[in-house]
Each structure stands twice: as structure tokens, then as C-alpha cells.
Amino acid sequence: MSIPDVFIQPTPNPNALKFIVDREVLHEGKATFKSVKDCENIALAEALFDLRGVDQIHFFQNVVTVSKFSFEDWDILEPAVKTTLENMLPDHNPNFEQKNPEDERRASLAPEIRQIEEILDKRIRPGLQGDGGDLAVKDYKDNVVLIKYQGACGTCPSSSAGTLEAIRGILRDEFNPDVEVYIAPEGA
């Protein structure tokens, strides 16, 4: 198979870059790897974690988003990620099996939270996932939604301001005009 074309694009998070490739890295859904233990023998993800400074990896369609530790320099890490993708993608299987605990979690949610999740699935998550991030609804009570950012969004400066306001506005339009949205405290 030929060497893949790899295009690099910034994200709103200065510690995350999107590596857009000319083939699928994941056929369906998304996959986030927070450590090499999460990779479950997915050689591409394991090889990326072998690079010094990689904090987290996110696969979505034909995009690999790499988040780095803030003390690492993109000038060194970016070409190393690109080379790893070029070397590993020809043998990568985008149909790898992955556990999806989200399906089980959603089945046990209250109807209001399920409705919120469906709105976020349509209006917010595609943009976040395209940049290597996501969010989880942690709670809904007394017109207050608590969310937790995941992936590249977890350390992104814009997630606590602009993105949060967008989520609040959309949920007020499509769910409840009196809803408030806050970031859940650590450990929640």
C-alpha cells in the first residue's frame, strides 16, 4: 500500500494537533486512548504513545488528533507523529474492535439526560470530535446540566468560555429556555 498523505491542522487547543490522512483510521465511531494500556494491541496507537510527549490520542474517521504534554515542543513532536503515521497506516486496520461503554451508560440514563445527549450528538459533538475532543453529561438536576470535557477539549482554553456558551445556547433553544450549563468539578 502507498505512503499516506498526512495534512496537519491546528485545533483550538494549543496542545493538540489534527493529523488528517487520506484513508480511514477508524471505520465507525470514535476512539480515545488516554494511555498505552487503552490501546488493546492497536499498533498505530501504541506506536504514537512511544513518542516522547504524547498525552492522548483520538481517532475519528480519517483524523488522528494527538494531544501533547504542555512542556513538549511541537517542532520535535509534529514531524515524529507524521513519520509514525506514514510508516504505520499502510498496515493499520480501521475496523478494529473497541469496547463502547457509552452505549451501556446511555441505556441507564434518565429520559431528560438522554434528550440532552441526543441534542449534543447532533449539534455539538461533531465539531468537538473533529478536533479530538468530546464531552460527557455528568448530571442534570433543577435545570442545571453538569458536563465534563474529554480529549483535547479537556485542556483547551476555549472550552470553558466560547464552547460552554454555545452548549448553553443550543440547550436553551432545543431543550429548556431556563437551563444552565456548568463544567462539573473534578472527581464528579
pLDDT tens digits, one per residue of 4-36: 899 999 988 888 999 999 999 998 878 888 889
Q: What is the 3-state secondary structure (H, E, C) of 55-72?
A: EEEEEECCEEEEEECCCC
Fold of 101-183: GMP Synthetase; Chain A, domain 3 (3.30.300)
Q: Quote the cell numbers at residue 73.
A: 515542543
The answer to whether residue 161 scores a pLDDT higher than 70 is: yes
Q: Where are the domains positioned within the chain?
A: 6-91, 101-183
Q: For residue 118, how many other CB atoms are within 10 A of its CB?
A: 13
Spatial distance between the Cα atoms of 8 and 98, rounded to a whole number of angstroms:
26
Top pLDDT among 105 and 21 is at 21
Fold of 6-91: Ribosomal Protein S8; Chain: A, domain 1 (3.30.1370)
Helix or strand (DSSP H, E) at 163: helix 162-174
pTM for this prediction: 0.74
The answer to whether residue 169 scores a pLDDT higher than 80 is: yes
81 — pLDDT class (breaks 50, 70, 90): very high
Return all residues near 138 (Cβ < 8 A) that are at least 6 apart. 146, 147, 148, 184, 188
- Percent over 90 (pLDDT), the chain: 48
